[in-house]
Structure 1
Amino acid sequence: MEKKNLFLHGKKVAYIERGNINDPPVLLLHGVPESSLVWRELFPCIMSCGYRTIAPDLPGFGHSEPFDEPSTWKRFEQFVSDFTTALNLDKFHLIVHDWGGLIGLKWACDHPENILSLFVSNTTLSEDYKWHPLAQIWRTPSSGEEIMKKMANHLQFQTEMKKTIPNITDKTLEDFYRVFRTPESSIVILDLYRSGNLEKVKTYNEKLNRFKIPVTIIWGENDPYIPFEFAYKLKNDGLPHANVHIIQNAGHFLQIEVPDKVNFYIHQHFKNCK
């Protein structure tokens, strides 16, 4: 799947764009350790609903170059502003997953006038969330750097990811691996997780509550990183009018594991946006 490139502050940003330029835009923000290819099975469905899709490789992931400065949560939020401005995206629908949700939902709360609808999966802004074991290692100085050396082993990375996502394509797998290739490239993940202070978002449930737009929340029943209970917590605490769907026999990487089921809810969501 061919990517386009643009330059922001002298750094290359790779992104996938599909659909009619005149159709309403949909911005898709991936998580860790992903790239825009996590969405590849969703593009045709979104386009068939009458929308244009734009999915960047976040800086440091996939084929996008990292920031010159630390890759913090706040810096990725600024990237969303820079990227949407560069593509003249004023109002758009937002689809987020994993860290794309922490970045995108926080950005949406601070720019509510830009958001037409929200489609959220496997992510949380809850201060009650306890980081999963690998995240805790990444957040710990020295321990994080040590485990990154092991994760740079190409064969081992492929083996572990295929256990987690058996139907992942080789091309997508290679895209996901790129952030682990070197100690320099993997700093992006360490910076991001170490900046992830969820106390920063204590006030954001109140901001989420102000959204009166269509909201869909989907989750894998067997997500080992963020339990599906956080889908209901997101609804109850911040988005009471959201439609919540828990997909059985699915884990964290829904978009690759069960794309047909995700597309069913995508179609339903955009029908509600008309």
Structure 2
Amino acid sequence: MNAFAPRGEPTGTTTWSPPLPDAPGFEHSMIETPGLRTHVASIGEGDPVVMLHGFPQHWWEWRRVAPVIAAEGHRVICPDLRGSGWTYAANPGFGPETQMVDVVAVLDALGVERAHFLCHDMGAISGMQLSYRHPERVRTMVQLSVPPGFMEFTPKIMPAFAHMPALIMHREGRSLRGLFGPRYAARPMSDATVDAYLAVHGRPEVARSVASMYRGMVVPMSMRLMTGVYKRMRLLPPTLVVFGRADGPFAEPTARRICRNSDAHADRFELAFVEDAAHFVVDDAPDAVTALALDWFASEG
């Protein structure tokens, strides 16, 4: 493993640009893998738990979840995915599984053979891919706000894709603040919280990655879900899919309907629903997400 801080400075200094948002207890490093320098925030010691953030967020999404899970005897690893946070990519392009490949490379660099996973939104897409492509690396999977790969398509979930056209055509400098509005968050986020997520989008590399990510990763993956590609594969890791009850496209009746044949596609699969939470379920209800994750990790086997 080659870990380094930006600009050649020792890890733990304050030379990150823009400055990292405050989150006590985390250690920060850069992990070098071919073509990628991944910022990783970590906390705790013990069995590894990998947390993959959503969009347009970064490692800080886990600030209220990771310390509690670490206190239960886990080493929590929160990388910034390609195109997000403080991670730097030599090639700004995206393919459908680029982020998954990046995650595997980071696990290898850190010497993590198998881990529990807690993943949200864009990170849940990569986590789901990892479960299918490399099930030997996944002890358990908790997937937030994204349906399982074997879902049955229904037009009722189409509102979940309403934001995609604007992001496919996104241009540098265009605001993303609307993504944190009441349609996606059950509890209003403070300006300070939204600023902490979006400050890094001032980096040209991050700002330019939005359209590339949606065109190269999200659109192809949406087509795979809608055309049943993953129905022809077996989901082996124990998988818990969690939705906020206020997440309209995935209201409980719809979510249960699209997952009703889980026994035919997965070895062990369950659904859970969080009160007073929408798409941004981690920010809406961090305590509930933490409790569900710890319970699922403990139920392995």
TM-score range, shorter-chain basis? 0.7 to 0.9
* Residue in 1 that maps onto 2:201: 180
* Residue in 2 that maps onto 1:199: 223
2: distance between equivalents of 1:262 and 1:225? 19
* Residue in 2 that maps onto 1:120: 143
Superposed displacement of residue 234, structure 1:
4.3
* Letter aligned with residue 267 of structure 1: L
SS of 1:219's partner is strand
* Residue in 2 that maps onto 1:132: 161
Identity of aligned residues (%): 20
Superposed displacement of residue 181, structure 1:
2.5
1:15-30 aligned within 5 A: 15-20=40-45, 23-30=46-53
2: distance between equivalents of 1:226 and 1:123? 9
2: distance between equivalents of 1:75 and 1:6? 17
Structure 1 127/65 Cα, relative in aligned 2: closer, same or farther at 3 Å? farther
1:147-166 aligned within 5 A: 149-151=173-175, 157=177, 161=180, 164=185, 166=188
Deviations 1:208-239 (A, max 9, x none): 44x1x433221111225655534663463444
1:5 to 30, 39, 64: 30
SS of 2:97's partner is helix
Confirm or deny: 8 A CA contact 1:132 1:226 kept in the other structure: no
Structure 1 252/160 Cα, relative in aligned 2: closer, same or farther at 3 Å? closer
Structure 1 137/226 Cα, relative in aligned 2: closer, same or farther at 3 Å? farther
* Letter aligned with residue 215 of structure 1: T
* Residue in 1 that maps onto 2:298: 271
Confirm or deny: 8 A CA contact 2:114 2:139 kept in the other structure: yes
SS of 1:73's partner is coil
Confirm or deny: 8 A CA contact 1:225 1:252 kept in the other structure: no
1:40 to 50, 63, 74: 63
Superposed displacement of residue 254, structure 1:
1.3
Provide TM-score, normalisation by structure 2: 0.75
Superposed displacement of residue 206, structure 1:
4.0
Which consecutive unaligned segments of at least 5 residues does structure 1 have? none
* RMSD value, Cα: 2.8
Which consecutive unaligned segments of at least 5 residues does structure 2 have? 1-22
2: distance between equivalents of 1:42 and 1:61? 19
* Letter aligned with residue 177 of structure 1: L
Q: How many residues align?
A: 259
* Letter aligned with residue 30 of structure 2: N
Structure 1 145/86 Cα, relative in aligned 2: closer, same or farther at 3 Å? same
1: distance between equivalents of 2:91 and 2:294? 39
Provide TM-score, normalisation by structure 1: 0.81
Structure 1 235/114 Cα, relative in aligned 2: closer, same or farther at 3 Å? farther
2:74 to 32, 35, 51: 51
2: distance between equivalents of 1:106 and 1:175? 28
Confirm or deny: 8 A CA contact 1:168 1:256 kept in the other structure: no
1: distance between equivalents of 2:170 and 2:143? 30
1: distance between equivalents of 2:249 and 2:201? 19
Structure 1 204/39 Cα, relative in aligned 2: closer, same or farther at 3 Å? same
* Residue in 1 that maps onto 2:16: none
Confirm or deny: 8 A CA contact 1:117 1:215 kept in the other structure: yes
